[in-house]
Amino acid sequence: MAEETVNYSEDSIRSLDWKEHIRLRPGMYIGKLGDGSSFDDGIYVLLKEIMDNSIDEFVMGSGRTIDISVSDHKVSIRDYGRGIPLGKVIDCVSKINTGGKYDSKAFQKSVGLNGVGTKAVNALSGSFAVQSYRDGKTKRAEFEKGELMLDNPAIDTTQRNGTAVTFIPDESIFRNFRFIPEFIENMIWNYVFLNAGLTINFNNQKYFSERGLHDLLVRNTDSEANRYPIIHLKGEDIEIAMTHGQQYGEEYYSFVNGQHTTQGGTHQQAFREAVVRTVREFYKKEYDASDIRASIVAAVSVRVQEPVFESQTKTKLGSLNIGPDGPSVKSFVTDFVKKALDDYLHSHPDAADGLLKRILQSERERKDIAGIKKLANERAKKASLHNRKLRD
Q: Which of 163, 187, 208 is the last residue of a domain?
A: 208
Confirm whether 379 is domain-assigned: no
H or E, element range at 150: strand 147-151
On whether both 197 and 283 belong to a single domain, the answer is: no
The predicted-structure confidence for 184-209, as pLDDT tens digits, reads as follows 999 999 999 999 899 999 999 999 99
Confirm whether 392 is domain-assigned: no
First-to-last C-alpha distance (Å) of the chain? 62
- DSSP for residue 3: P
The predicted-structure confidence for 114-128, as pLDDT tens digits, reads as follows 446 899 999 999 999
Confirm whether 192 is domain-assigned: yes
On whether both 257 and 314 belong to a single domain, the answer is: yes
CATH number (domain holding residue 184): 3.30.565.10
On whether both 233 and 197 belong to a single domain, the answer is: no
On whether both 226 and 353 belong to a single domain, the answer is: yes
The predicted-structure confidence for 70-101, as pLDDT tens digits, reads as follows 987 999 999 999 999 999 999 999 887 555 55
Q: Is the model's pLDDT at 295 over the cut of 90? A: yes
Distance CA 91, CA 190 (A): 30
Position with higher pLDDT, 113 vs 212: 212
Q: Is the model's pLDDT at 14 over the cut of 80? A: no
On whether both 121 and 201 belong to a single domain, the answer is: yes
Confirm whether 272 is domain-assigned: yes
| The pLDDT value given to residue 99 | 52
Confirm whether 378 is domain-assigned: no
φ, ψ of residue 366 to 5 degrees: the values are -65, -45
Question: Are 129 and 165 a contacting pair, CB within 8 Å?
Answer: yes
Q: How confident is the model at residue 102 (pLDDT cuts 50, 70, 90)?
A: very low
Confirm whether 6 is domain-assigned: no
On whether both 127 and 226 belong to a single domain, the answer is: no
On whether both 220 and 167 belong to a single domain, the answer is: no
On whether both 173 and 308 belong to a single domain, the answer is: no
When the pLDDT of each residue in the chain is averaged and rounded to a whole number, the result is 87
Q: How confident is the model at residue 367 (pLDDT cuts 50, 70, 90)?
A: confident
Q: Is the model's pLDDT at 15 over the cut of 80? A: no
Mean pLDDT value across residues 127-148: 96
Q: How confident is the model at residue 106 (pLDDT cuts 50, 70, 90)?
A: very low
On whether both 134 and 260 belong to a single domain, the answer is: no
On whether both 293 and 161 belong to a single domain, the answer is: no
On whether both 160 and 248 belong to a single domain, the answer is: no
Q: Is the model's pLDDT at 266 over the cut of 90? A: yes
Distance CA 374, CA 100 (A): 61
Q: Which of 152, 183, 208 is the last residue of a domain?
A: 208
Domain count, the chain: 2
Pairing of strands 238-244, 65-70: unpaired
The predicted-structure confidence for 36-49, as pLDDT tens digits, reads as follows 998 889 999 999 99
Question: Which residues, in sequence order, are CB contacts of 288 under 8 Å at separation 6+?
Answer: 363, 366
Question: Which stretches of 205-286 are DSSP H helices?
Answer: 213-220, 266-283
Confirm whether 375 is domain-assigned: no
CATH number (domain holding residue 344): 3.30.230.10
The predicted-structure confidence for 218-235, as pLDDT tens digits, reads as follows 999 988 889 999 999 999
| Domain residue limits at 353 | 213-367
* Alpha carbon distances (Å) from 136 to 58, 75, 160, 372: 20, 25, 8, 74
The residues that bridge with 233 in the sheet, in sequence order, are 240
Question: Which stretches of 65-210 are DSSP H helices?
Answer: 89-94, 117-123, 181-194
On whether both 265 and 363 belong to a single domain, the answer is: yes
Q: Of 130-144, 215-229, 313-327, which range is least confident?
A: 313-327
| The pLDDT value given to residue 326 | 84
Q: Which of 150, 173, 208 is the last residue of a domain?
A: 208
Confirm whether 3 is domain-assigned: no
